Structure 1
């Protein structure tokens, strides 16, 4: 199965690069990108999972409604993207359920940071997709963690997909910077080994991030954003469908695993 997921959040990433960005711009940029994503998914008639912060959901109710009415899954990305307290786990789940009218079963920690699995279970989640089982300098070292799905503390863990041998991450930065044919080859090999692919992106990638003065992003973040990202994702989904790979929400995948 192809498990496409998107972390929809207030676009606070410029702060990491010493740039200020207004809250209104944080929301509008993510709204623009999420709209582009939904248009692509509708074009190809595939379903995906959207991990949303409550902050974003409260400020983009029309998009949350479109996500749910289009048959996609809504999952939790916390209350806020840049602040976390253990009580936010249950609070965010309940708030998103109230906003969407859909049961929220999944969680993903902002920036794929560690989270206590017992607290995730206590907050009522069925699964957690917060592990990138690789090593990223300055971010995390998860080489000791399982590469594929497993259960821990009563919660299904669904790590992001990495290649079988070298654990090369197939996350959003790889998608932007590798030649598309090479990314597709690695994706195909990973799918053959695991029988699923769990890859994640963000709405702001589908907007133009090349204004260094405004955002402060290095070239590897700016590369293939905006219209180029939309085109690449369009081609990638078409390629996946051409391979005959089925698409599913994460909730659907977990139901089959159980």
Structure 2
């Protein structure tokens, strides 16, 4: 009969094996299928709010170096881990995004993860005129969508304050932004927000190169995106290989600084489709 010591040793070994297998399966799941993503900023309001949690569909566009995990803060760099796939702007099992998709991608310079909406496809000419998006010389359709309101208070783990069209607004006051419904060529409609007249409301014409995409945030006056070139601290054109995946649905949402603060959960956003 086996001793108690050997039985305990075998039990510990089995536990370790189980944990290792679970981590491997979780890593495979994250690398190949879905990647979790928390919304850290207000650049995609009101489509996405600070504290929304979603899974990014990685196989929507196939796989590239950007499909590998990347956590710059701790030195994990997708380009180093999957360098063999980097440099040719191609993807394995690749398919192209459609205009209007909400996409998570790697910033072409910093490697940080961004989430924005695709508005410009390869070969398109994109321009902003008086805050109105023009694609290939034609203004997109805009309709009034009412007013978006939120409380003037720190938001999310970073504790940032929202910008308001009716500002300045004191703590606890109602922060307002004009909401418009924008319809892109192809028929995708979504809401956008306006705060004020900013330098990105009027731009030159951007000619999107082949193999690249043009992204903007739905919160138009509070988004760092393709309207600003990389040399000026923006995003610029995003290569095809930098796409991580498509955001399809909000799984969970919390308005507080921690997901464990259950009294701040937004149950009306659980499993909400992203439009």
TM-score (norm: length of structure 1): 0.27
Higher Rg: 2
**Structure with greater strand share of residues:** 2
